[in-house]
């Protein structure tokens, strides 16, 4: 499906829909250790290397945002590239804040998958240049 204003509004208005960058080669899983790490071990090691508690590297759900504009903010989008997709998933907000103040939601299932470049092109038209 193609990104449209109506589709984004539909997902943004649904409290059980969330956006996340996901490498298609990585399992979505039940916990989150940052959208940039491929394994829990990698996240724990990076936290330890930064002098942080490695136990705080793993979150009880998936790092995500509850709006398209939120996930496409430069704060997040600059961490990813064409190796990732933007997924929209059905889930439940855990009430926990992630490492970058993002939402953390329990993941149920992927509803839509969008190509990274397509998501960036749409954001450029609707968010970044406005």
Q: Give per-residue pLDDT as tens, 101-126.
A: 899 999 999 999 999 999 999 999 99
pLDDT of residue 35: 62
Structure confidence by residue, pLDDT tens digits, 26-72? 888 888 876 678 888 998 999 999 998 888 888 899 999 999 999 99
Tell me if the pTM is above 0.85. Answer: yes
Domain limits for position 92 = 5-128
CA distance 75 to 10: 24
Q: In what order do the strands lie in the sheet with 103-115?
A: 17-22, 85-97, 103-115, 62-64
Q: Does residue 17 have a pLDDT over 90?
A: yes
The answer to whether the CB of 58 falls within 8 A of the CB of 123 is no
Per the structure, the count of domains in the chain is 1
Nearest alpha carbon to residue 80 among 101, 66, 93, 63: 63
Quick check: 44 and 33 in contact, CB under 8 A?
yes
Identify the residue with better confidence: 75 or 20: 20
- Give the per-residue pLDDT at 37: 81
Coil vs helix vs strand at 3: coil
């Amino acid at each position: 499906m193609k990104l449209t204003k109506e589709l984004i509004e539909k997902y943004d208005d649904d409290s059980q829909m969330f956006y996340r960058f996901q490498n298609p080669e990585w399992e979505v899983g039940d916990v989150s250790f940052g959208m940039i790490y491929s394994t829990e071990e990698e996240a724990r090691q990076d936290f330890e290397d930064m002098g942080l508690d490695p136990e705080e590297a793993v979150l009880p759900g998936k790092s995500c945002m509850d709006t398209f504009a939120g996930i496409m903010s430069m704060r997040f989008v600059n961490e990813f590239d064409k190796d990732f997709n933007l997924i929209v998933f059905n889930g439940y907000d855990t009430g926990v804040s992630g490492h970058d103040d993002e939402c953390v939601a329990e993941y149920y299932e992927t509803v839509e998958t969008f190509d990274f470049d397509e998501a960036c092109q749409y954001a450029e038209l609707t968010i970044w240049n406005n």
